[in-house]
């Protein structure tokens, strides 16, 4: 079995296309699981992401009161976190990246203020290894979060693999949530 990252990315993207009709209902199951987590409930500031069409839909979590939500913004080769109050605060900013939505300009939220962070990925292992889309943005960003931040990978069950190739720059997550 070829475990190269490029081959795995192609395979997972094909699986996502094959399951596209079920992604919405699977996302609902995932959101319910997130809401039940004590770490989620305890967090005042949460890092979310504006889901791409083939990622778990998490924006409905913004309807939960008494939380501040921070979203990644691409600045050069790094991610900076900005707050957003609702989905209308998110828009396409990066030229050539129509599926990447970011806050229009909310205040910057320092990594140390984020207690719970949802991390997207194309695949995960149960032990927290993550396969991203290939840009390395989350691997670079995760290094800046304090150990106290709960890093939760989120994926659909068919994206959960037994093994993934690991490189020195790869950053694991603390737990993996799936439907």
What's the pLDDT tens digit per position in 107-141? 999 999 999 999 999 999 999 999 999 999 999 99
Give pTM, 2 decimals.
0.94
**Res 61: pLDDT:** 97
Taking the domains of the chain in order of start, what are their residue ranges?
Answer: 5-178
116-141 burial: b if 16+ Cβ within 10 Å, else e: bbbbbbbbbbeebbbbbeeeeebeeb
For strand 150-155 and strand 175-178, is the pairing parallel, antiparallel, or unpaired?
parallel
148-159 burial: b if 16+ Cβ within 10 Å, else e: ebbbbbbbbebb
**Res 100: pLDDT:** 81
Closest CA to 60 of 86, 26, 90: 86
Are residues 67 and 42 in contact, defined by beta-carbon separation less than 8 angstroms? no
Residue with more model confidence, 155 or 96: 155
Q: How far apart are the C-alpha atoms of 92 and 30, rounded to whole Å?
A: 25
Fold of 5-178: Rossmann fold (3.40.50)
Which residue shows structure tokens 């290094």? 143
| Arithmetic mean of pLDDT, 41-63 | 96
Are residues 39 and 151 in contact, defined by beta-carbon separation less than 8 angstroms? no
**Res 1: pLDDT:** 46
Confidence of residue 96 (pLDDT cuts 50, 70, 90): low
Confidence of residue 157 (pLDDT cuts 50, 70, 90): very high
């Amino acid at each position: 079995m070829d475990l190269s990252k490029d081959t795995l990315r192609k395979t997972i993207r094909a699986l996502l296309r094959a399951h596209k009709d079920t992604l919405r209902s699977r996302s609902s199951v995932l959101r319910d699981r997130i809401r039940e987590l004590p770490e989620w409930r305890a967090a005042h500031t949460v890092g979310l992401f504006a889901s791409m069409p083939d990622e778990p839909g998490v924006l409905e979590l913004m309807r939960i009161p008494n939380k501040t939500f921070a979203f990644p913004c691409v600045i050069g080769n790094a991610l900076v976190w900005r707050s957003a109050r609702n989905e209308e605060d998110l828009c396409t900013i990066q030229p050539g990246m129509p599926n990447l939505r970011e806050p229009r300009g909310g205040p910057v939220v320092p990594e140390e203020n984020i207690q719970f962070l949802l991390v997207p990925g194309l695949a995960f292992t149960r032990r927290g290894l993550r396969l991203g889309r290939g840009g390395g943005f989350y691997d670079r960003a995760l290094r800046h979060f304090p150990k106290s931040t709960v890093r939760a990978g989120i994926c659909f069950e068919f994206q959960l693999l037994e093994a993934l190739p690991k490189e020195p720059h790869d950053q694991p997550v603390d737990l993996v949530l799936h439907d």
